[in-house]
Chain A
Amino acid sequence: MSWFKQFAQSSIGAKSAVALTGLAMVGFVVAHLSGNLLVFAGRDAINGYSEWLHSKGALLWVARIGLLAMVGLHIFFTIKLNLHNKDARPVAYVKKTYTKAKPTSRSMVLSGLVLLSYIVYHLAHLTFRVTNPEFAQLDVYTMLISSFRSPMVSLSYIVGMVLLGAHLSHGVTSLFQTLGLNHPKYNPIIRAIGPILGVVLALGFSSIPVSVLFGLVQ
């Protein structure tokens, strides 16, 4: 396995790990959104979906641990790469002008870190229900509605999802390049897919707290 060690320690190997774990998490986020949107189909639809998920028992835990591993590896390799990057330019320029880098691509570490703190809050809030112990007795639908009626809670979710969109608008397009997928014929699609997915996910997720705030879903 010496080739694997060498590969994982190389810049391209580490970058591929970030790309692949990122891709896995994108898959999860898309599935998560499609589940969440059932809230618009009514109380029974989303409660039924939640019961179906929880009936999977061990399988659900396999998925959860797998997802946690993806998050962990994504962060581990990003930190490793980032420290190396900082080390590669010990003396900064007095004047530096950016010509092509976008705000979303330049703030990946920041958007990633805020997203991480968002995820911790979100898990404590709706998965483990630590922030509001009274949720333990409630069904998913009631829990969502009562949570998102608070403008502060809704706002923190919306900010989290806007940052998710920003993170993915660079990340998703970028992962194609890292994995070597760059072709003039497909580049217009590759360039567009990150920003499109970012906007769709941010709007899709945010639509739920916004609808609750404005009383469209009760």
Chain B
Amino acid sequence: MKLKLHVWRQKNAKTQGKMVTYDAPNVSPHMSFLEMLDVVNEDLIAKGEEPIAFEHDCREGICGSCSLMINGVAHGPQKATTTCQLHMRTFKDGDEIYIEPWRAKAFPIIKDLVVDRSAFDRIIQAGGYVSVNAGGAQDANCLPVPKDTADQAMDAAQCIGCGACVAACKNASAMLFTSAKVSHLGLLPQGQPERQRRALNMVQQMDKEGFGNCTNQYECEAVCPKEISVRFIARMNRDYLNASICGSGPEKKAGGGED
């Protein structure tokens, strides 16, 4: 296959970037998208040019490292697929492909196609802990969890934190990510004691990071490689409303006994 690539090149966070066109003359349809970029980079290195920087790790669709806006769609045209699992047979010989980094104020570009997603880590940190009693291990299954609830919690827990939801959203909103993280603990009995506080703190952190607001257009759900449902966004809205309106207010200082 012969392809023409338009790739975003940007030296570092401070410099201006621009689209640069590259020819990829020897692409096998069996390659993954990242392998195709590897081959293009080999050529660039041989020519003494700077290779295209992109993020990757497991290359089996479970780590959440790879990203890329491919022809305007996060993770490319195949549904429920990360960029590393996207194969070149999805494209046709002679195609032109636009490759851009995730674009959001909360995801500043580090270099070329690599963005800093530590805003997501800070949202998770804001979620805090779950109370687990110390002492001997409990017997298995002594906390009954209905199958349907366990399934839903697992669906939410599938989120790999890749950031495609933010990239696809016209408002660069992180509601799908945050709601998946709020919900996978909030659905289970172990997550109940801190449920309200978790929703409040994670939403607050999400707003602080400078992500946009959800306008319920569901572009995020359409591109999510793990098919996280926008149902979790409604669930987070419910948890947040409940915690704000019916909750006990700001967290009191830790430590038992009377003040």
Which residues of A pack against B, CB within 8 Å?
2-3, 6-7, 10-16, 81, 84-85, 87-102, 105-106, 108, 170, 173-174, 176-182, 184
Contact = CB atoms under 8 A, between A and B. Distances in A.
29 contacts: A2-B250, A3-B249, A3-B250, A6-B204, A10-B204, A11-B173, A12-B203, A12-B241, A16-B237, A81-B213, A85-B170, A85-B173, A85-B212, A85-B213, A85-B215, A88-B171, A88-B211, A89-B171, A92-B103, A94-B100, A95-B98, A96-B72, A99-B219, A99-B222, A100-B218, A106-B170, A108-B215, A173-B216, A174-B215
A161 to B, nearest CB: 23
A12 B237 contact: yes
B21 to A, nearest CB: 12
Given A85-B171, A97-B73, A15 B214 contact: yes
Contact of A179 (B98, B103, B211, B237): B237
Interface residues of B, number: 52
A101 B212 contact: no
B72 A182 contact: no
B72 to A, nearest CB: 3
B40 interface: no
Nearest to A88: B212
Given A12-B240, A84-B213, A99-B223, A93 B103 contact: yes
Interface string B104-145: 111000000000000000000000000000000000000000
Interface stretch (B26-34, B81-89, B227-235): B227-235
B216 A89 contact: no
B216 A178 contact: yes
A181 B250 contact: no
A16 B218 CA distance: 18
